[in-house]
Amino acid sequence: MLTPTTRTYMVLFFLDNNQIESSTIPRRHLNINSNLHILREQNRYTSHEFTMLTSWFLNVFFLVLASVPSILSAPATNLTKDYYQKTCPDFSKIVRDTVTTKQAQQPTTAAGTLRVFFHDCFLEGCDASVLVATNSFNKAERDDELNESLPGDAFDIVTRIKTALELSCPGVVSCADILAQSTRDLITIVGGPFYEVKLGRKDGFESKAHKVHGNIPIANHTVHDMMSIFKKNGFSLKEMVALSGGHTVGFAHCIEFSSRLFGPRADPELDSRYADRLKDLCKDHMVNKSMAAFLDPITPGKFDNMYFKNLKRGLGLLASDHALFKDNGTRPFVDLYADNQTAFFEDFARAMEKLGMVGVKGDKDGEVRRKCDHFNKLDV
Protein backbone atom coordinates (compact mmCIF):
# COMPACT_ATOMS: atom_id res chain seq x y z
CA MET A 1 0.00 0.00 0.00
CA LEU A 2 1.30 3.41 -0.94
CA THR A 3 0.82 5.82 1.89
CA PRO A 4 0.20 9.44 0.87
CA THR A 5 2.52 12.02 2.31
CA THR A 6 1.47 15.36 3.68
CA ARG A 7 2.11 18.06 1.10
CA THR A 8 1.94 21.81 1.11
CA TYR A 9 0.52 23.62 -1.91
CA MET A 10 0.87 27.15 -3.16
CA VAL A 11 -2.69 27.99 -4.09
CA LEU A 12 -3.31 30.78 -6.61
CA PHE A 13 -6.72 32.43 -6.44
CA PHE A 14 -8.28 34.96 -8.83
CA LEU A 15 -10.39 37.35 -6.83
CA ASP A 16 -13.45 39.38 -7.81
CA ASN A 17 -11.34 42.53 -8.05
CA ASN A 18 -9.25 40.86 -10.78
CA GLN A 19 -6.26 40.51 -8.47
CA ILE A 20 -4.26 37.38 -7.90
CA GLU A 21 -3.62 36.23 -4.38
CA SER A 22 -1.58 33.27 -3.22
CA SER A 23 -1.53 31.25 -0.06
CA THR A 24 0.56 28.35 1.13
CA ILE A 25 -1.58 25.84 3.00
CA PRO A 26 -1.41 22.15 3.95
CA ARG A 27 -3.51 19.89 1.76
CA ARG A 28 -5.48 18.60 4.71
CA HIS A 29 -6.73 22.13 5.34
CA LEU A 30 -7.98 22.78 1.80
CA ASN A 31 -11.63 23.68 2.09
CA ILE A 32 -13.15 22.81 -1.26
CA ASN A 33 -16.81 23.43 -2.06
CA SER A 34 -18.17 20.06 -3.27
CA ASN A 35 -21.58 19.10 -4.66
CA LEU A 36 -22.78 15.65 -3.21
CA HIS A 37 -24.33 14.71 -7.70
CA ILE A 38 -22.29 -0.49 -36.85
CA LEU A 39 -26.91 -12.06 -54.31
CA ARG A 40 -25.76 -14.45 -55.00
CA GLU A 41 -28.79 -16.30 -53.67
CA GLN A 42 -31.12 -14.31 -55.94
CA ASN A 43 -28.99 -15.37 -59.00
CA ARG A 44 -28.28 -11.73 -59.87
CA TYR A 45 -24.55 -12.34 -60.41
CA THR A 46 -22.44 -14.94 -62.25
CA SER A 47 -19.84 -16.87 -60.26
CA HIS A 48 -17.07 -14.64 -61.61
CA GLU A 49 -19.05 -11.47 -60.84
CA PHE A 50 -19.84 -12.73 -57.39
CA THR A 51 -16.17 -13.52 -56.70
CA MET A 52 -15.13 -10.04 -57.89
CA LEU A 53 -17.88 -8.43 -55.82
CA THR A 54 -16.87 -10.39 -52.76
CA SER A 55 -13.24 -9.38 -53.18
CA TRP A 56 -14.23 -5.72 -53.53
CA PHE A 57 -16.46 -5.91 -50.48
CA LEU A 58 -13.77 -7.47 -48.32
CA ASN A 59 -11.25 -4.83 -49.37
CA VAL A 60 -13.67 -2.05 -48.46
CA PHE A 61 -14.69 -3.81 -45.26
CA PHE A 62 -11.16 -4.12 -43.96
CA LEU A 63 -10.38 -0.56 -45.06
CA VAL A 64 -13.28 0.61 -42.94
CA LEU A 65 -12.09 -1.46 -40.02
CA ALA A 66 -8.61 -0.02 -40.32
CA SER A 67 -9.96 3.51 -40.23
CA VAL A 68 -12.38 3.12 -37.31
CA PRO A 69 -10.38 2.51 -34.14
CA SER A 70 -13.48 2.36 -31.97
CA ILE A 71 -14.54 -0.85 -33.70
CA LEU A 72 -11.16 -2.42 -33.09
CA SER A 73 -11.09 -1.37 -29.48
CA ALA A 74 -14.61 -2.60 -28.69
CA PRO A 75 -14.48 -4.90 -25.66
CA ALA A 76 -14.94 -8.64 -26.12
CA THR A 77 -16.35 -8.85 -22.60
CA ASN A 78 -20.01 -8.07 -21.99
CA LEU A 79 -20.20 -5.67 -19.08
CA THR A 80 -23.44 -5.04 -17.24
CA LYS A 81 -24.66 -2.42 -14.82
CA ASP A 82 -25.85 -4.99 -12.26
CA TYR A 83 -22.91 -7.43 -12.52
CA TYR A 84 -22.51 -7.70 -8.74
CA GLN A 85 -26.18 -7.58 -7.81
CA LYS A 86 -26.21 -11.20 -6.56
CA THR A 87 -22.55 -11.88 -5.82
CA CYS A 88 -21.78 -8.65 -3.96
CA PRO A 89 -25.00 -6.70 -3.33
CA ASP A 90 -23.30 -4.06 -1.17
CA PHE A 91 -20.69 -3.21 -3.82
CA SER A 92 -22.06 0.20 -4.77
CA LYS A 93 -22.70 1.24 -1.17
CA ILE A 94 -19.24 0.23 0.00
CA VAL A 95 -17.59 2.15 -2.83
CA ARG A 96 -19.72 5.24 -2.29
CA ASP A 97 -19.28 5.34 1.47
CA THR A 98 -15.52 4.81 1.24
CA VAL A 99 -14.89 7.48 -1.39
CA THR A 100 -17.08 9.97 0.45
CA THR A 101 -15.03 9.58 3.61
CA LYS A 102 -11.71 9.69 1.75
CA GLN A 103 -12.62 12.78 -0.30
CA ALA A 104 -13.59 14.60 2.88
CA GLN A 105 -10.21 13.74 4.39
CA GLN A 106 -8.13 14.46 1.26
CA PRO A 107 -9.85 16.81 -1.19
CA THR A 108 -7.37 16.01 -3.99
CA THR A 109 -8.51 12.37 -4.10
CA ALA A 110 -11.08 12.89 -6.87
CA ALA A 111 -8.64 14.49 -9.29
CA GLY A 112 -5.94 11.95 -8.49
CA THR A 113 -8.24 8.97 -9.02
CA LEU A 114 -9.49 10.35 -12.33
CA ARG A 115 -5.89 10.71 -13.50
CA VAL A 116 -4.96 7.16 -12.43
CA PHE A 117 -8.05 5.75 -14.18
CA PHE A 118 -7.10 7.55 -17.41
CA HIS A 119 -3.51 6.31 -17.25
CA ASP A 120 -4.78 2.78 -16.62
CA CYS A 121 -7.23 2.65 -19.53
CA PHE A 122 -4.90 4.17 -22.12
CA LEU A 123 -2.29 1.44 -21.62
CA GLU A 124 -3.46 -2.18 -21.99
CA GLY A 125 -7.07 -1.10 -21.38
CA CYS A 126 -9.03 -0.65 -18.15
CA ASP A 127 -7.52 -3.59 -16.31
CA ALA A 128 -5.96 -2.11 -13.17
CA SER A 129 -2.46 -2.67 -14.56
CA VAL A 130 -1.43 0.77 -13.29
CA LEU A 131 -2.07 -0.35 -9.72
CA VAL A 132 0.48 -3.17 -9.82
CA ALA A 133 3.67 -2.73 -7.83
CA THR A 134 7.13 -3.55 -9.14
CA ASN A 135 8.58 -6.87 -7.97
CA SER A 136 11.81 -8.77 -8.55
CA PHE A 137 10.45 -10.15 -11.84
CA ASN A 138 9.02 -6.98 -13.34
CA LYS A 139 9.18 -3.18 -13.35
CA ALA A 140 5.55 -2.12 -13.38
CA GLU A 141 3.76 0.77 -15.13
CA ARG A 142 3.46 2.97 -12.12
CA ASP A 143 7.23 3.08 -11.70
CA ASP A 144 7.85 4.56 -15.14
CA GLU A 145 8.94 8.19 -14.90
CA LEU A 146 5.70 9.40 -16.53
CA ASN A 147 3.70 7.76 -13.74
CA GLU A 148 5.91 8.61 -10.78
CA SER A 149 3.74 11.62 -9.94
CA LEU A 150 0.48 9.66 -9.83
CA PRO A 151 -1.09 10.61 -6.49
CA GLY A 152 -0.85 8.22 -3.58
CA ASP A 153 -4.40 9.08 -2.53
CA ALA A 154 -5.75 7.34 -5.64
CA PHE A 155 -3.92 4.11 -4.83
CA ASP A 156 -5.01 4.39 -1.23
CA ILE A 157 -8.71 4.72 -2.02
CA VAL A 158 -8.62 1.56 -4.16
CA THR A 159 -6.86 -0.29 -1.34
CA ARG A 160 -9.45 0.87 1.19
CA ILE A 161 -12.35 -0.23 -1.01
CA LYS A 162 -10.74 -3.57 -1.85
CA THR A 163 -10.18 -4.30 1.83
CA ALA A 164 -13.82 -3.59 2.67
CA LEU A 165 -15.11 -5.64 -0.28
CA GLU A 166 -12.92 -8.61 0.59
CA LEU A 167 -14.59 -8.68 3.99
CA SER A 168 -18.06 -8.47 2.47
CA CYS A 169 -17.68 -10.63 -0.65
CA PRO A 170 -14.17 -12.13 -0.87
CA GLY A 171 -12.66 -12.85 -4.28
CA VAL A 172 -15.55 -11.35 -6.24
CA VAL A 173 -14.86 -7.73 -7.21
CA SER A 174 -12.00 -6.83 -9.53
CA CYS A 175 -9.67 -3.94 -8.88
CA ALA A 176 -10.45 -2.65 -12.38
CA ASP A 177 -14.12 -2.31 -11.46
CA ILE A 178 -13.24 -0.65 -8.17
CA LEU A 179 -11.17 1.97 -9.99
CA ALA A 180 -13.88 2.61 -12.59
CA GLN A 181 -16.72 2.93 -10.06
CA SER A 182 -14.79 5.01 -7.55
CA THR A 183 -13.70 7.42 -10.28
CA ARG A 184 -17.33 8.06 -11.27
CA ASP A 185 -18.46 8.48 -7.69
CA LEU A 186 -15.65 10.90 -6.86
CA ILE A 187 -16.38 13.01 -9.96
CA THR A 188 -19.99 13.42 -8.85
CA ILE A 189 -18.94 14.30 -5.30
CA VAL A 190 -16.97 17.31 -6.56
CA GLY A 191 -19.82 18.49 -8.76
CA GLY A 192 -19.26 16.61 -12.01
CA PRO A 193 -21.80 14.70 -14.09
CA PHE A 194 -23.19 11.29 -13.23
CA TYR A 195 -22.66 8.62 -15.88
CA GLU A 196 -23.27 4.88 -16.10
CA VAL A 197 -20.49 2.48 -15.15
CA LYS A 198 -20.86 -1.02 -16.52
CA LEU A 199 -19.12 -3.73 -14.53
CA GLY A 200 -17.50 -7.12 -15.00
CA ARG A 201 -13.92 -6.18 -15.90
CA LYS A 202 -11.14 -8.51 -14.89
CA ASP A 203 -7.69 -7.49 -13.74
CA GLY A 204 -4.92 -7.83 -16.31
CA PHE A 205 -1.89 -10.10 -16.18
CA GLU A 206 0.63 -7.51 -17.41
CA SER A 207 2.07 -4.24 -16.24
CA LYS A 208 5.23 -3.10 -18.02
CA ALA A 209 6.91 0.24 -17.37
CA HIS A 210 8.61 0.31 -20.78
CA LYS A 211 5.21 0.42 -22.52
CA VAL A 212 4.11 3.68 -20.93
CA HIS A 213 5.96 6.09 -23.24
CA GLY A 214 3.96 6.81 -26.39
CA ASN A 215 0.69 5.70 -24.84
CA ILE A 216 0.07 8.50 -22.34
CA PRO A 217 -0.23 12.19 -23.32
CA ILE A 218 2.36 14.45 -21.71
CA ALA A 219 2.41 18.10 -20.73
CA ASN A 220 4.22 19.49 -23.80
CA HIS A 221 2.31 17.50 -26.42
CA THR A 222 0.80 19.23 -29.44
CA VAL A 223 -2.79 18.56 -30.48
CA HIS A 224 -1.44 16.23 -33.18
CA ASP A 225 0.60 14.33 -30.60
CA MET A 226 -2.34 13.96 -28.25
CA MET A 227 -4.79 13.03 -30.99
CA SER A 228 -2.54 10.20 -32.22
CA ILE A 229 -2.84 8.62 -28.78
CA PHE A 230 -6.56 9.25 -28.37
CA LYS A 231 -7.32 8.03 -31.92
CA LYS A 232 -5.72 4.63 -31.40
CA ASN A 233 -8.00 4.21 -28.40
CA GLY A 234 -11.06 5.03 -30.50
CA PHE A 235 -11.67 8.66 -29.51
CA SER A 236 -12.62 11.58 -31.75
CA LEU A 237 -11.16 15.08 -31.58
CA LYS A 238 -14.22 16.34 -29.74
CA GLU A 239 -14.05 13.52 -27.23
CA MET A 240 -10.39 14.32 -26.62
CA VAL A 241 -11.25 17.90 -25.75
CA ALA A 242 -14.11 16.80 -23.50
CA LEU A 243 -11.87 14.39 -21.60
CA SER A 244 -9.20 17.08 -21.29
CA GLY A 245 -11.81 18.97 -19.30
CA GLY A 246 -10.94 16.66 -16.44
CA HIS A 247 -8.18 19.19 -15.80
CA THR A 248 -10.82 21.34 -14.17
CA VAL A 249 -9.69 19.58 -10.99
CA GLY A 250 -6.22 18.54 -9.89
CA PHE A 251 -2.73 19.96 -9.99
CA ALA A 252 0.55 19.69 -11.93
CA HIS A 253 4.10 19.81 -10.63
CA CYS A 254 6.27 22.74 -11.64
CA ILE A 255 8.58 20.55 -13.71
CA GLU A 256 5.67 19.91 -16.07
CA PHE A 257 5.21 23.55 -17.03
CA SER A 258 8.47 25.28 -16.04
CA SER A 259 9.58 25.55 -19.71
CA ARG A 260 6.69 27.99 -20.20
CA LEU A 261 8.04 30.20 -17.46
CA PHE A 262 11.82 30.28 -17.64
CA GLY A 263 14.52 30.74 -20.29
CA PRO A 264 14.45 31.85 -23.92
CA ARG A 265 11.40 29.72 -24.75
CA ALA A 266 9.12 31.19 -22.09
CA ASP A 267 5.56 31.36 -23.40
CA PRO A 268 4.38 34.98 -23.94
CA GLU A 269 0.78 33.78 -24.36
CA LEU A 270 0.52 32.86 -20.69
CA ASP A 271 -1.25 35.59 -18.74
CA SER A 272 1.55 37.81 -17.42
CA ARG A 273 0.26 38.16 -13.86
CA TYR A 274 -0.41 34.45 -13.66
CA ALA A 275 3.05 33.74 -15.06
CA ASP A 276 4.69 35.98 -12.44
CA ARG A 277 2.97 34.12 -9.62
CA LEU A 278 3.93 30.76 -11.12
CA LYS A 279 7.55 31.88 -11.48
CA ASP A 280 7.64 32.77 -7.82
CA LEU A 281 6.05 29.46 -6.88
CA CYS A 282 8.41 27.40 -9.06
CA LYS A 283 11.69 29.28 -8.68
CA ASP A 284 13.21 26.37 -6.75
CA HIS A 285 11.46 23.56 -8.62
CA MET A 286 14.71 21.79 -9.46
CA VAL A 287 15.41 21.50 -5.74
CA ASN A 288 11.90 21.11 -4.37
CA LYS A 289 10.28 18.86 -6.95
CA SER A 290 7.06 18.53 -4.97
CA MET A 291 5.96 22.11 -5.70
CA ALA A 292 2.71 22.12 -7.67
CA ALA A 293 -0.02 24.43 -8.91
CA PHE A 294 -3.69 23.81 -9.51
CA LEU A 295 -4.66 23.19 -13.14
CA ASP A 296 -7.64 25.49 -12.57
CA PRO A 297 -6.57 28.44 -10.40
CA ILE A 298 -10.10 29.81 -10.01
CA THR A 299 -12.26 26.88 -8.88
CA PRO A 300 -9.60 24.22 -8.23
CA GLY A 301 -11.74 21.72 -6.33
CA LYS A 302 -15.00 22.06 -8.23
CA PHE A 303 -15.76 20.06 -11.35
CA ASP A 304 -17.11 22.67 -13.76
CA ASN A 305 -16.33 24.28 -17.13
CA MET A 306 -13.95 26.88 -15.69
CA TYR A 307 -10.98 25.04 -17.24
CA PHE A 308 -12.20 25.99 -20.71
CA LYS A 309 -12.89 29.58 -19.69
CA ASN A 310 -9.36 29.74 -18.33
CA LEU A 311 -7.89 28.60 -21.65
CA LYS A 312 -9.45 31.61 -23.37
CA ARG A 313 -7.89 33.96 -20.79
CA GLY A 314 -4.35 32.65 -21.04
CA LEU A 315 -4.69 30.66 -17.83
CA GLY A 316 -4.06 27.19 -19.23
CA LEU A 317 -1.30 25.79 -17.03
CA LEU A 318 0.18 23.12 -19.29
CA ALA A 319 1.39 23.67 -22.87
CA SER A 320 -0.94 20.85 -23.94
CA ASP A 321 -3.87 22.68 -22.35
CA HIS A 322 -3.07 25.94 -24.12
CA ALA A 323 -2.66 24.04 -27.42
CA LEU A 324 -6.36 23.10 -27.33
CA PHE A 325 -7.27 26.79 -27.57
CA LYS A 326 -4.63 27.72 -30.18
CA ASP A 327 -5.38 24.85 -32.58
CA ASN A 328 -8.06 25.61 -35.18
CA GLY A 329 -9.42 22.08 -34.95
CA THR A 330 -9.98 21.99 -31.20
CA ARG A 331 -10.74 25.66 -30.48
CA PRO A 332 -14.44 25.41 -31.47
CA PHE A 333 -14.92 22.74 -28.81
CA VAL A 334 -13.11 24.85 -26.22
CA ASP A 335 -15.44 27.75 -27.09
CA LEU A 336 -18.49 25.49 -26.88
CA TYR A 337 -17.63 24.10 -23.48
CA ALA A 338 -16.58 27.48 -22.09
CA ASP A 339 -20.00 28.88 -22.99
CA ASN A 340 -22.10 25.83 -22.18
CA GLN A 341 -21.35 23.73 -19.11
CA THR A 342 -24.28 21.41 -19.84
CA ALA A 343 -22.78 20.53 -23.23
CA PHE A 344 -19.44 19.84 -21.55
CA PHE A 345 -20.97 17.65 -18.87
CA GLU A 346 -22.98 15.63 -21.41
CA ASP A 347 -19.99 15.07 -23.69
CA PHE A 348 -17.64 14.34 -20.81
CA ALA A 349 -20.07 11.76 -19.39
CA ARG A 350 -20.40 9.97 -22.73
CA ALA A 351 -16.63 10.01 -23.21
CA MET A 352 -16.06 8.59 -19.73
CA GLU A 353 -18.52 5.76 -20.39
CA LYS A 354 -16.56 5.02 -23.57
CA LEU A 355 -13.22 5.29 -21.78
CA GLY A 356 -14.31 2.70 -19.24
CA MET A 357 -14.91 0.18 -22.05
CA VAL A 358 -11.45 0.43 -23.61
CA GLY A 359 -9.58 -2.87 -23.75
CA VAL A 360 -11.42 -4.54 -20.88
CA LYS A 361 -10.38 -8.07 -19.95
CA GLY A 362 -12.64 -11.08 -19.53
CA ASP A 363 -12.27 -14.38 -17.68
CA LYS A 364 -9.85 -15.82 -20.26
CA ASP A 365 -7.35 -12.95 -20.11
CA GLY A 366 -7.82 -11.64 -16.61
CA GLU A 367 -8.39 -12.43 -12.96
CA VAL A 368 -9.80 -10.99 -9.78
CA ARG A 369 -6.71 -10.01 -7.82
CA ARG A 370 -6.63 -10.70 -4.13
CA LYS A 371 -4.55 -7.54 -3.67
CA CYS A 372 -4.75 -4.78 -6.22
CA ASP A 373 -1.03 -4.09 -6.27
CA HIS A 374 0.01 -7.75 -6.85
CA PHE A 375 -0.84 -10.40 -9.42
CA ASN A 376 -2.24 -13.57 -7.86
CA LYS A 377 0.79 -15.43 -9.22
CA LEU A 378 4.07 -13.81 -8.28
CA ASP A 379 5.90 -14.71 -11.52
CA VAL A 380 3.27 -13.23 -13.86
How buried is residue 278: exposed, middle or buried, by Cβ count under 10 Å (0-12/13-18/19+)? buried
The answer to whether 155 touches 131, Cβ cutoff 8 Å, is yes
Active-site annotation holder among 29, 37, 48, 119 = 119
Q: What's the chain look like in SS3?
A: CCCCCCCEEEEEEECCCCCEEEEEEEHHHCCCCCCCCCCCCCCCCCHHHHHHHHHHHHHHHHHHHHHCHHHHCCCCCCCECCCCCCCCCCHHHHHHHHHHHHHHHCCCHHHHHHHHHHHHHCCCCCCCHHHCCCECCECCHHHCHHHCCCCHHHHHHHHHHHHHHHHHCCCCCCHHHHHHHHHHHHHHHCCCCCCCCCECCEECCCCCHHHCCCCCCCCCCCHHHHHHHHHHCCCCHHHHHHHHHHHHCCEEEHHHCHHHCCCCCCCCCCCHHHHHHHHHHHCCCCCCCCCEEECCCCCCCCCCCHHHHHHHCCCCCCHHHHHHHHCCCCHHHHHHHHHCHHHHHHHHHHHHHHHCCCCCECCCCCECCCECCECCCCCC
Query: How big is the CA angle at 49 (ends 44 and 51), to the nearest 5 degrees?
Result: 115
Q: What pairing do the DSSP bridges indicate for beta strands 292-294 and 251-253?
A: antiparallel
Please confirm, yes or no, whether 119 is among the known catalytic residues: yes
Active-site annotation, residues: 119
